[in-house]
Amino acid sequence: MQQKREVKVLLADSFKELVLEKPVEKITIKEITDRAGVIRVTFYNHFQDKYELLEWICREEIVSPTKILFQNNMRREAVTFIFTAILKNKEFYSHVAHTQGQNSFSSTVRQLVSETIEEHFLANKFGKHEKYSLLTAKWIADFYAMSLTYILMSWIERDMDIPPEDMVNIYEYVAQHSLISLPEAVRKLPDRNNSKNNSK
């Protein structure tokens, strides 16, 4: 099992290097395996294609580590971790964020985050609402995953120029208010400089 993971990490590292040189769409499996020093068959023993490899990287680096945080109801810390993990590998994620279509980075992250949130809800006995049957664990998980992914993508497009903690504050404000109440809530957002001064 450990050896299997080591091969995946080797392929992931090779893929990460190539992403900095060319678009994901133009990277071939042969290039990945050649740089990793393995044969093509080895790649297909672990991944169906390069997009599944990208999904594995996102799962391992961004999403899976948040599960223990969700299990301990540390939801803010979990969201903060996602931003921090992406910032830690800024150059790589800035490049893969441009992948489009069904296998796009945004759709991959959205799906992984949704699965994790739904798992958290179900573990906490979150079921259907008696009156509003639409409010299932999956439906709400999808909603939060879509909104969080949108904010993540906007942040990446801005070259991640806002600290993760501030992005979590923005996400929290937006997530806590509907379109009806949001304008007033935004006006009450603390000024960044004032919040720093208040923390001294």
Average per-residue pLDDT for the chain: 89
Residues 34 and 58 in one domain: no
The predicted-structure confidence for 46-98, as pLDDT tens digits, reads as follows 999 999 999 999 999 999 999 999 999 999 999 999 999 999 999 999 999 99
Q: What is the DSSP letter of 59?
A: I
27: phi then psi, degrees, rounded to nearest 5: -80, 130
Residues 1 and 63 in one domain: no
Query: Would you state the pLDDT for residue 189?
Result: 61
Residues 187 and 92 in one domain: yes
Can you tell me the distance from the alpha carbon of 94 to that of 103, in angstroms, rounded to the nearest whole number? 16
Nearest to 54 by CA among 4, 135, 62: 62
Higher pLDDT, 102 or 161: 161
On the question of pLDDT at 125 being above 80, the answer is no
Residues 57 and 123 in one domain: yes
Which of 96-110, 155-169, 178-192 holds the top average pLDDT? Answer: 155-169
29 part of a folded domain: yes
Residues 130 and 96 in one domain: yes
Higher pLDDT, 179 or 174: 174
Query: Would you state the pLDDT for residue 119?
Result: 93
Residues 92 and 189 in one domain: yes
Domain of 9: which CATH number?
A: 1.10.10.60
Non-local (6+) Cβ contacts of 80 within 8 A are 164, 165, 168
On the question of pLDDT at 199 being above 50, the answer is no
The predicted-structure confidence for 29-60, as pLDDT tens digits, reads as follows 999 999 999 999 999 999 999 999 999 999 99
Q: What is the DSSP letter of 62?
A: I
What residues make up the domain containing 33? 1-47
**CA-based end-to-end distance of the chain:** 49
The half-sphere exposure of 89 on its side-chain side, counting CA atoms within 13 A, is 20
* Number of domains within the chain: 2
200 part of a folded domain: no
